[in-house]
Chains A and B, each alone.
Chain A
Amino acid sequence: MELLGLLSEGFLIAFEPLNFGLIVLGVVVGLFVGAMPGLGSVNGVAILLPMTFLVPPASAIMFLAALYYGAMYGGAISSIMLGIPGASTAVATTFDGRPLAIKGEADRALIAAALASFGGGTISIVLFTLFAPPLATIALDFGDPEIFALMMLAFATFVGLSGDDIAKTIFSICIGMVMSAIGFDVISGEPRLVLFDLIGFQSKINFLVLAIGIYGIGEMMWTIEVSRGDSMMSKATVTVDRVMANLKIFWNTWKTWFMASFLGFFVGILPAAGATPGSLMAYGVAKMTSKTPDDFGKGAVEGVVAPEAANNAASTGSMLPMLTLGIPGSPTTAVLLGGMVIWGLQPGPRLFVDEIDFVWGLIASLYAANLFAALINIAFIPLFLWFLKTPFTILAPLIFVLSMVGGYAATERMFDVWLMLILGVGGYLLRKLDYPVAPAVLAIVLGPITEPALRQSLLISDGDLMVFFNRPISGPIMITAIILLFLPLFQALWRRMRNKGGATAG
């Protein structure tokens, strides 16, 4: 009951005219920042941080949190419509969002994304409201072996149950792993894989540069080759009937977004992980638990619902360690953390005691931001669809320009624009040779988390691999991962044995 009292007081703060106006403004700005390729929530928050001096700290963080939320919604828009991930958190949304748009069902994909984001946001905020302080302790319990085990589980969901050619999937993961190793090695303190001695390779390949290259440039080349310039997506229309029919997605896919929200929230809590791994893992698990896993990648609504629910849930989740431990769960929350220091707030375990008004005002503003982001997003859908009626011959150069601008905006280096073009061509070739690209993308996101966790674990254990199995949290996760990894092998053996059995019987 005390909780409800605090929350309602929080709502009173969030609905003060100034705060309320800032929340709506933040959502709208976030929606556009998120939809713009290359610009994600981290850019939006970083750029607008100095502006927040004009208002009190509580209002400032509400504005930025609303922006963060809006960007999570907005990222899906260009992923679905153009096939370019609007933000790194929306990469997994392109896997099925884009095929849906090509099938002429962009409206379904957009509404599914909005509804799933709402579902994910709601569940995560409720979890946040109820369990913030105790969950922070769980985040602390996750040491290196636990993180490594969790990453293995993520890879296993992609390998074990991907309907694709397993050898090609593993090859694709390896390419991603190698690319993720480029740059600076924290553990040895030395630069490594500095290809051709270019200074640009002293830092790791920015994930957004890779994603825009593969999904923007590569996808555009692929579409041009397949369609020869025919308009492809003009079939999507909006009628009241269709919208009503689409709203049913919320109920039809509730299992998917429910699961994805919990997963996303939990992954978001873990420092270092954040929303991008969360959404990719949710996609993998959704595919794994689906009755029709073969539809994934070809335009399954669940394939949009899962990552979108997860990335919103993760964005709330990553605020938790930021507020309670002072450790950011994602780059965006790291910038927010910097903001809090400027406003004179000390994040950490004492924040929930010392700054009650601030904390509960923020939580209430998350509820409000989530609701408004969903409403505003759905209201804009006809506009987005109208835009899609543009013939592909006009859309293609536009995608190209947006990709170039986005690639530059991500890091502000010309080097990365060239790199993005090269990666785009590489992605196109992989696709042409029928290699799945998604596992490579997964590897490049998870590689920088997995590799140090493995090496740090082994350093601590003196090279003893049992460290992954004899700890209470990492053990079960690791064993599940291994079972999933070898599942295709077991299935093949099982089938062979059954066939043999059948042959002797007959």
Chain B
Amino acid sequence: MKATLKKVMALGVAVGLVSGFAAVSGKDAQAAWEPKKPVQFVVMAGKGGGADKLARLIQSIIEKHKLSPKPVTPVNKPGGSGAEALVYMKNHKDPDHAIMVTLNSFYTTPLRQPRLGVDPLAFAPIARMAEDTFLLWVNKDSGITNVDEFVKAAKAAGNKWVMAGTGKASEDNLLTDFLNAAYGLNMKYVPYKGGGKVAKQLAGNHANSTVNNPSEQLGFYEAGKTVALAAFTDNRLPLFKSAPTFKELGKDFVYYMQRSVVGAPGMSKDALAFYQGLFKKVFATSEWQTYRTKKSLQGDLLQGDALVDYWKRENEVHRKMLVKMGAIKG
């Protein structure tokens, strides 16, 4: 009996130990990586810029729902159309605690400034949160209501037709070049700092047309000051049902602006998994979904390899467009 008891006890101890170990090692495997200090959320724009507003919205959502054990704090690196932010991320000493919100300058700035030595594909693919869309806008006073009338008026005005946009070789410039080529126009492209200022130029009748994002023109559009003629998208936008796509009009051209969150090059796999999980949760919040609807944003959540594939594709598209524009050598 004694022996049996001993045996049972030994067995018990053994089972206990094993299960203890199992519990410990299991916990080890399950103990996901978590940030150990505040996460730097790098913004390629100054305080109040487009990317900055986005970063602060995301920060607020994370804080409101307590999605991260450590705070996510925006850090502004506005220099050189993203150059400063990209180089800062590339050289970051603690890549596990550095993420960045990016737009399409993520491709165009490294392409235009090869000396920076930045490769977009080296960044950690956390999440594409949305794609912003572009439309062609005119002032209501112009009386123009469709693309045909627009082409007629712009053709007649020739080089006097002012298209306002956001900086040379920016997204707006690419779209203007497309319109000039597709319809045989000779519009004059005048760059401004930021889409908000561009929108104001049109509303104040200082420019003849723009290719703003919906969010930039929405206020003026709702006040009846500006009109959307057509969209550079695959399908008509829910907010602008009456504006056809350029595809419908026979010009196969779509263009989106990514709104993605990336990790610093060299981010560990565990950290990447944490941030991917974090932004999946942010994406699902009602705040983010409302924001998407209100700003007429498109594009689903893309993460990991799917996001890298998307970047590869977009990077090529931008390279070709910049070569065509003469901004870079092929």
Residue B21 at the chain A interface, CB threshold 8 Å = no
Please classify the interface of chain B as helix (H, G, I), strand (E, B), loop, or mixed, using the class held by over half of its residues: helix
Q: Establish whether residues A189 and B197, one from each chain, have CB atoms under 8 Å apart when the complex forms.
A: no
Once the chains are docked, how many angstroms separate the CA of A203 from the CA of B199? Answer: 24
Known: A184-B81, A191-B80, A349-B222. A50 touches B48 (CB 8 A): no
Residue B132 at the chain A interface, CB threshold 8 Å = no
Question: Given the complex, which residues of A lie within 8 Å of B200, measured CB to CB?
Answer: 140, 271, 325, 327
Q: How large is the interface on B (under 10, 10 to 19, 20 to 34, 35 or more residues)?
A: 35 or more
Question: Given the complex, which residues of A lie within 8 Å of B197, measured CB to CB?
Answer: 271-272, 327
Q: Establish whether residues A184 and B79, one from each chain, have CB atoms under 8 Å apart when the complex forms.
A: yes
CB distance from B74 to the nearest CB of A (A): 8
Q: Which residues in window 36-52 of B have CB below 8 A to A?
A: 46-49, 52
Once the chains are docked, how many angstroms separate the CA of A317 from the CA of B181? Answer: 43
CB distance from B55 to the nearest CB of A (A): 9
Known: A202-B83, A459-B188. A412 touches B75 (CB 8 A): yes
Question: Given the complex, which residues of B lie within 8 Å of A326, measured CB to CB?
Answer: 196, 218-219
Q: Establish whether residues B222 and A350, one from each chain, have CB atoms under 8 Å apart when the complex forms.
A: yes
Q: Establish whether residues A202 and B57, one from each chain, have CB atoms under 8 Å apart when the complex forms.
A: no
Q: Establish whether residues A203 and B79, one from each chain, have CB atoms under 8 Å apart when the complex forms.
A: yes
Q: Which residue of B lies closest to A334 (CB)?
A: B48
Residue A141 at the chain B interface, CB threshold 8 Å = yes
Known: A53-B63, A142-B204, A344-B290. A186 touches B192 (CB 8 A): yes
Q: Establish whether residues A335 and B47, one from each chain, have CB atoms under 8 Å apart when the complex forms.
A: yes
Q: Which residue of A lies closest to B40 (CB)?
A: A412
Q: Which of B79, B84, B170, B204 interacts with A189 by CB under 8 Å?
A: B170
Once the chains are docked, how many angstroms separate the CA of A50 from the CA of B203? Answer: 32
Residue B152 at the chain A interface, CB threshold 8 Å = no
Known: A184-B80, A331-B46, A346-B219. A456 touches B168 (CB 8 A): no
Q: Which of B112, B168, B220, B327 interacts with A187 by CB under 8 Å?
A: B168
Q: Establish whether residues B48 and A143, one from each chain, have CB atoms under 8 Å apart when the complex forms.
A: no
Question: Given the complex, which residues of B lie within 8 Å of A186, measured CB to CB?
Answer: 167-168, 191-193
Once the chains are docked, how many angstroms separate the CA of A326 from the CA of B76? Answer: 22
Q: Which residue of A lies closest to B327 (CB)?
A: A189
Residue A104 at the chain B interface, CB threshold 8 Å = no
Question: Given the complex, which residues of A lie within 8 Å of B290, measured CB to CB?
Answer: 344
Q: Which of A42, A188, A460 interacts with B190 by CB under 8 Å?
A: A460
Q: Establish whether residues B78 and A325, one from each chain, have CB atoms under 8 Å apart when the complex forms.
A: no
Q: Establish whether residues A199 and B52, one from each chain, have CB atoms under 8 Å apart when the complex forms.
A: no
Q: Establish whether residues B48 and A189, one from each chain, have CB atoms under 8 Å apart when the complex forms.
A: no
Q: How large is the interface on A (under 10, 10 to 19, 20 to 34, 35 or more residues)?
A: 35 or more
Most chain B CB inside 10 Å of its own CB: which residue of A188, A189, A346: A189
CB distance from A342 to the nearest CB of B (A): 5
Q: Which of A46, A140, A349 interacts with B56 by CB under 8 Å?
A: A46
Q: Establish whether residues B48 and A337, one from each chain, have CB atoms under 8 Å apart when the complex forms.
A: yes
Question: Given the complex, which residues of B lie within 8 Å of A42, measured CB to CB?
Answer: 47-48
Known: A326-B196, A328-B48. A459 touches B190 (CB 8 A): yes
Most chain A CB inside 10 Å of its own CB: which residue of B87, B170, B193: B193
Question: Given the complex, which residues of B lie within 8 Å of A189, measured CB to CB?
Answer: 81, 112, 167-170, 173, 191, 327
Q: Establish whether residues A348 and B48, one from each chain, have CB atoms under 8 Å apart when the complex forms.
A: no
Q: Which residues in window 188-223 of B have CB below 8 A to A?
A: 188, 190-193, 196-197, 199-201, 203-204, 206, 218-220, 222-223
Q: Which residue of A lies closest to B215 (CB)?
A: A341
Q: Which of A338, A344, A452 interacts with B53 by CB under 8 Å?
A: A338
CB distance from B108 to the nearest CB of A (A): 9
Q: Which residues in window 252-276 of B have CB below 8 A to A?
A: none
Q: Establish whether residues A460 and B60, one from each chain, have CB atoms under 8 Å apart when the complex forms.
A: no
CB distance from A49 to the nearest CB of B (A): 6
Q: Establish whether residues B56 and A328, one from each chain, have CB atoms under 8 Å apart when the complex forms.
A: no
**1/0 per residue A173-211: CB within 8 Å of B?**
000000000011011111100000001101100000000
Q: Which residues in window 451-498 of A have CB below 8 A to B?
A: 452, 456, 459-460, 462
CB distance from A279 to the nearest CB of B (A): 19
Residue A427 at the chain B interface, CB threshold 8 Å = no
Most chain B CB inside 10 Å of its own CB: which residue of A199, A335, A344, A346: A199
Q: Which residues in window 298-356 of A have CB below 8 A to B?
A: 325-328, 331-335, 337-339, 341-342, 344, 346-350
Question: Given the complex, which residues of A lie within 8 Å of B53, measured CB to CB?
Answer: 334, 337-338, 341
Question: Given the complex, which residues of A lie within 8 Å of B327, measured CB to CB?
Answer: 189
Residue A144 at the chain B interface, CB threshold 8 Å = yes
Residue B287 at the chain A interface, CB threshold 8 Å = yes
Q: Which residue of B lies closest to A348 (CB)?
A: B219
Question: Given the complex, which residues of A lie within 8 Å of B294, measured CB to CB?
Answer: 341, 346
Known: A349-B219, A460-B188. A191 touches B60 (CB 8 A): no
Question: Given the complex, which residues of B lie within 8 Å of A459, measured CB to CB?
Answer: 188, 190
**1/0 per residue B61-79: CB within 8 Å of A?**
0011000000000111111
Question: Given the complex, which residues of B lie within 8 Å of A271, measured CB to CB?
Answer: 196-197, 200
Question: Given the complex, which residues of B lie within 8 Å of A337, measured CB to CB?
Answer: 48, 53
Question: Given the complex, which residues of B lie within 8 Å of A49, measured CB to CB?
Answer: 56, 60
Q: Which residue of B lies closest to A349 (CB)?
A: B223
Q: Which of A144, A187, A338, A350 interacts with B223 by CB under 8 Å?
A: A350
Question: Given the complex, which residues of B lie within 8 Å of A338, measured CB to CB?
Answer: 48, 52-53, 56-57
Question: Given the complex, which residues of A lie within 8 Å of B81, measured CB to CB?
Answer: 184, 189
Known: A53-B63, A412-B75, A460-B188. A143 touches B206 (CB 8 A): yes
Residue B59 at the chain A interface, CB threshold 8 Å = yes
Q: List 12 A-B contacts (CB under 8 A).
A: A46-B56, A50-B64, A187-B167, A199-B79, A203-B79, A327-B197, A335-B48, A338-B52, A344-B290, A349-B222, A411-B76, A452-B193
Which residues on A are within 8 Å of B, measured CB to CB? Answer: 42, 46, 49-50, 53, 140-144, 183-184, 186-191, 199-200, 202-203, 271-272, 325-328, 331-335, 337-339, 341-342, 344, 346-350, 411-412, 452, 456, 459-460, 462
